[in-house]
Amino acid sequence: MSIGMPDKRDSYDVIVAGAGIGGLLSAAMLSKRGFSVIVFERLSFIGGRFTSFNFQGYEIPSGAVHMIPNSRGLFTKTLREFGIDYKKTDVWVECIWGNHRRSCRHAAGIFNTLESTSARWALAKVIFEVMRPQKNVETSFEGYLKSEIGNDELYRFFEVLTNFSLSLSMEDIPAKTMFKIIRDMLLQGLMGDNRVIPIGGCKGVIKGLKEVISAHNGKIVTNAEVRKILVHEGKVDGVAVKMGRECRELKSRYVVSNLGPIKTYDKMDEVDYSGVLSKLRGKKPPAGITISVAASKDMLGHSGITLTPISEHVCGIVQPTAIDPSLAPEGKHLLLTHQILKSRNIKNEIELGIADLHRIFPDFDEHCEILCTHSFHSDWPVNYLTQGEDLPNRTQIENLFMVGDGNKPPAHIMTEGIAHGVKQVVDAICASRIR
């Protein structure tokens, strides 16, 4: 059994704190490379914000909407290495404007997603700017679009794109960060990159990683809360973990923390990080709402991302059942919407999102039924830190590393960013073993 109590030993090469996608990916890669690894997860399930729960036959996400951003990225490369199956989406992006739907199958067709010629010229200008490496704009992306581009349709296109892919308003992301994201998205897209949907959804990935960890003698312990990260003379020493009523100290040469930067700094023993912590606590993690909808027919006609400039709150929708029908009962579809959380009145924001769904799909009541709604904020946000403000994977403490969506290398987004961070940590641990 890989999920259960730790065995009698009290020392491991690597202790992983947290069984989110960052923690499990690290554990799978390190156990495969011959390290003895144990993962502690405070909840009764693994996967964190990257799994799902079956509700009335529908796989409802705990966070991620069953989509991985890059088919040619590092994350999918790692999934292939582990034999975890996924399928590429057939549309790069679709936009719903008023009565019109405009889509492209490849990045080269991005101009087709806009309605007016003036918006297409404006997009050409943005693309020209983002491809110039010397361009350095010291303003928010919103400020840049307003002052230098001035096209309402293009502004709306980027607004829904930023809301959907980063869960941020355009005023909250610096133009230079967004330039790099757009540049990478376009260059990768032109080389044939697209999003993918894992078979079995996010849970399919988690199941696959669990099997890899088990096959390499790694252990995962659920209902086990890491209370302290033990530090001795500037070097990590292990963790104190609470399982039931018992609190145990386990030693390890390395600790990989998937708890997010705030909890990681908060749990460090013998070190006062109150300055760093008060700065981090002052930042608001990106927050959002997802509405899960059961549909009796295929509402989108493709498996890619649909952006919804037609609506006021919902910014995008995916229908993962277009790739994997097993995510819903036979003959049904699962639609997942996303919107950013704009106020503290979550109930009202959800109602506004539902009103948008009727605007997007005039036949909504005929074919659709709302299954459930979820908000993501505070301790369970869309990202631990705002895109572009991530902290490095290495910490000041020797052999203590951080992985997850507060520690993505610059410009890499979502799970692709997490995979890049995990690789840096695995490489650093492997290199230090050789020394």
Q: Which residues bind ligand FAD (CB under 6 A)?
A: 17-23, 40-43, 48-50, 63-65, 67-69, 225-226, 258-259, 263, 288, 290, 338, 376, 382-383, 404-405, 414-415, 418
User: How far is Cα 334 from Cα 321, in angstroms, rounded to an integer?
Assistant: 6
| Phi, psi torsion values for 96, nearest 5 degrees | -105, 110
Question: Please, which residue, 66 or 120, has the CB nearer to ligand FAD?
Answer: 66
Query: Shortest distance, CB of residue 287 to ligand FAD, whole angstroms?
Result: 9
Burial of 25 (0-12, 13-18, 19+ CB in 10 A): buried
Question: Please, which residue, 91 or 154, has the CB nearer to ligand FAD?
Answer: 91
Amino acid letter, 312: E
Residues 6+ apart with CB under 8 A from 205: 21, 50, 79, 84, 198
Nearest to 39 by CA among 58, 63, 14, 70: 14
3-state secondary structure of 20: strand
Question: Please, which residue, 115 or 266, has the CB nearer to ligand FAD?
Answer: 266
User: How far is Cα 93 from Cα 56, in angstroms, rounded to an integer?
Assistant: 29
Query: Shortest distance, CB of residue 309 to ligand FAD, whole angstroms?
Result: 19
Question: Please, which residue, 123 or 255, has the CB nearer to ligand FAD?
Answer: 255
Residue nearest to ligand FAD according to CB distances in the complex: 20
Question: Please, which residue, 137 or 243, has the CB nearer to ligand FAD?
Answer: 243
Query: Shortest distance, CB of residue 110 to ligand FAD, whole angstroms?
Result: 20
Query: Shortest distance, CB of residue 405 to ligand FAD, whole angstroms?
Result: 4
Query: Shortest distance, CB of residue 364 to ligand FAD, whole angstroms?
Result: 21
Question: Please, which residue, 255 or 310, has the CB nearer to ligand FAD?
Answer: 255
Query: Shortest distance, CB of residue 428 to ligand FAD, whole angstroms?
Result: 18
DSSP label of 147? I
Nearest to 241 by CA among 265, 223, 260, 261: 223
DSSP string, 324-348: -GGGSSTT-EEEEEEEE--SS-HHH
Question: Please, which residue, 153 or 225, has the CB nearer to ligand FAD?
Answer: 225
224, containing H or E segment: strand 224-232
Query: Shortest distance, CB of residue 242 to ligand FAD, whole angstroms?
Result: 8
Q: Long-range contacts made by residues 83-87, C-beta under 8 angstroms, separation at least 24?
A: 83/208, 84/198, 84/204, 84/205, 84/208, 84/209, 85/198, 85/199, 85/200, 85/204, 86/196, 86/197, 86/198, 86/199, 87/196, 87/197, 87/199, 87/303, 87/323, 87/324
Tokens representing residue 190 in the block: 């032109």
Residues 6+ apart with CB under 8 A from 366: none
User: How far is Cα 433 from Cα 293, in angstroms, rounded to an integer?
Assistant: 49
Query: Shortest distance, CB of residue 209 to ligand FAD, whole angstroms?
Result: 11
Tokens representing residue 413 in the block: 């987004």
The 10 Å Cβ neighbour count of residue 394 is 15
Query: Shortest distance, CB of residue 420 to ligand FAD, whole angstroms?
Result: 12
Query: Shortest distance, CB of residue 358 to ligand FAD, whole angstroms?
Result: 21
Query: Shortest distance, CB of residue 435 to ligand FAD, whole angstroms?
Result: 28
Quick check: 360 and 308 in contact, CB under 8 A? yes
Quick check: 337 and 293 in contact, CB under 8 A? yes
Place of tokens 């997490």: 418
Question: Please, which residue, 123 or 168, has the CB nearer to ligand FAD?
Answer: 168
Question: Please, which residue, 67 or 426, has the CB nearer to ligand FAD?
Answer: 67
Question: Please, which residue, 43 or 346, has the CB nearer to ligand FAD?
Answer: 43
